[in-house]
Structures are given as structure tokens and as C-alpha cells.
Amino acid sequence: MSSSEEGALHQSWAWPTGATRVAAVIGDPVSHSLSPVLHNAAIRRLGLDLVVVALRTTKPGIGTAIAAAREFGLVGLMVTMPHKQAIMEHLDAVTERAQRLKSVNYVYWEGDKLVGDSVDGAALVDSLRTDYEVQVRGKAVALLGSGGAARSIALALADAGAASVCVISRNLQTASAAADLAGSLGYVGVSADAAQADVVINATPVGMAGTSLSGLSPLSVDYLHKGQFVCDIVYNPLVTPLMELATAKGISCGNGVGMLVHAVATAFEAWTGIPAPLEEMQAAARAETLRRV
């Protein structure tokens, strides 16, 4: 991926041109995805002749979408619902963590092979470290939720050396499966167990704006106390109900913007071979989130 003078290409009224390479975000729905905005902000900052577009892909259309990605020589894909699992059979290879999670959230080329990886959990760990200076190594972590995001985070926490991962979810079966991904460090707990954690992570959609769960906290503030770090993977609103409760008690906390940024940055780097401009992506994510409120 060659780079021009900073952003010069993109100041033209005529960009993109016939020579501009294309990458895509696929999912259904996909119009709400922040990924294109983050990628295109980074691309413009670096002056690359690449554009990331959203291509709505229905559930039965995933095979067509991957065939098209190969035919068109797309630079890469970000993958969102409902394709994270179904896409796997259409790829040439998946990374070990994607295989363990049975989930892919971006696709890149390794030579002529289309490879799927799952980076959500690792992106959260990256965000905790670089955005909030929270190292998970040796920490007791309480993880709220047992869906795809929680599973990915459980695996990444174990990989990053957490002391324990307590999975708290109303669904005991999926909670147990998520805890298993953290190996011997993982176990299923109840809400009150969050009080013993050093780090509390909300990996449920509770509190997300525009949903029936908007305005709610996934955990009673009674189980939170000073000295903990509370991280919500929700980023809309930028300050979630859980974060409001924690902040009122003087507890440090963070939202899901950093996880999103690090996930997109990992894909960007796999596609372009160029370090992602994290600050530009973060600014774009915040601006776009605020624009939508």
C-alpha cells in the first residue's frame, strides 16, 4: 500500500479514482457500523489510496460475498453479525484464536490465502493497557455476559495472564462455555462475586442507547468499590449507566471506544502493513458516536 503526500489525494473532489483499492465491512445490518469511519479516517490521515465501504450482506449471501472479495481482489474484510461464524467455511484458513472462538471478525490476505481472525478480546486487553494503563496480568477479573464478545474477552484475558476470570451471566450454559475458554482460570459466578474482582468488564449490551436495554446497568453498584477498574464495551452512549454509577462512587472506568479502535487498528495493520494512527481513529470514533446521539 503506497502512501501519497498526507491526505492530498483525498482533498480532490474526484476521489476515489479507478486506481483506488477497496476493502469492505460486511454484515446485516451494516449501515450503523463505525468501522468504515475509523478506517477511512486513518486512510485519509496517511494519504493511502484505499477506501473502506460497507456492503450489506444477508445471511444466505455470505458465500457470494466471499467469492466477490476474491474476484474483486478486495484488500480485506471486517465481519459483523450475522456472519462471524458462518464465514469460516468460506475462508482458506483461520487463526488459532478464531478457531477456538468459532468466530471471525476480520479477514486479511496471507499470500494468496484468505485468513480469518478474531480480535475483539485482544483489542479490549490492548485498550485496557494503552488507553487506561490497566494491566490484566495477575488480576482477578469479573466478566459480565456470555455472548460472542464475552467469549472473545475470556480467551484474551487468559492469554494475557489474568489471575482469574469470573463469568457472570443469567445463562449458565453459555457462561460455562465462556469460562472454559479461560481454561483453569475461568469459573462461573454470580453478581456479588464482582465485589472481589480487580477489574469488572461489561460484555453485555445492557445500557446501549437505542435498544430496550438503554438506561440500564448490568450490575448493581453495591458490588463495585474504589480501587477497581470498570470497563464497559458499550460505547454509545460514551458514558454508560454502569460508568455513571461507578464514577459517582469514585471508581475509575472506561468505555468501549478503545476496544473498537484497537480491533479496527489490527485489521488495518494486517491489510496495509502500516501502523494504524490510533489517535486519529479514536477521534473519528468519538466524533461519529457523538454525531449519532
Question: Which residues of this protein are in contact with a second copy, per CB under 8 A?
Answer: 7, 10, 13-20, 22, 25, 30-38, 40-41, 44-45, 51-58, 61, 64-65, 67-68, 71-73, 280, 284, 287-288
Per the structure block, which three cell numbers stand in for 143?
466478566
Residue number, 35 or 105, with CB nearest to a second copy: 35
Q: 3-class DSSP state for residue 264? A: helix
In whole angstroms, the minimum distance from the beta carbon of 189 to a second copy comes to: 36
Cβ-in-10-Å burial (0-12, 13-18, 19+) of 121 comes to: buried
84 flagged as catalytic: yes
- In angstroms, the CA 172 to CA 76 distance is 36
Please say whether the beta carbons of 198 and 191 come within 8 A. no
Residue number, 16 or 205, with CB nearest to a second copy: 16
From the candidates 59, 84, 102, 249, give the one annotated as an active-site residue: 84
C-alpha Rg value of the chain to the nearest Å: 19
Neighbour count for residue 100 (Cβ, 10 Å): 14
Residue type, 116: G
Which residues contact residue 250 at a Cβ distance below 8 angstroms, ignoring those fewer than 6 apart?
Answer: 226
Residue number, 26 or 124, with CB nearest to a second copy: 26
Q: How far, CA to CA in Å, does 225 sit from each of 64, 207, 242, 246? A: 50, 20, 13, 8
Q: 3-class DSSP state for residue 253? A: strand
**What amino acid positions are annotated as catalytic residues?**
84
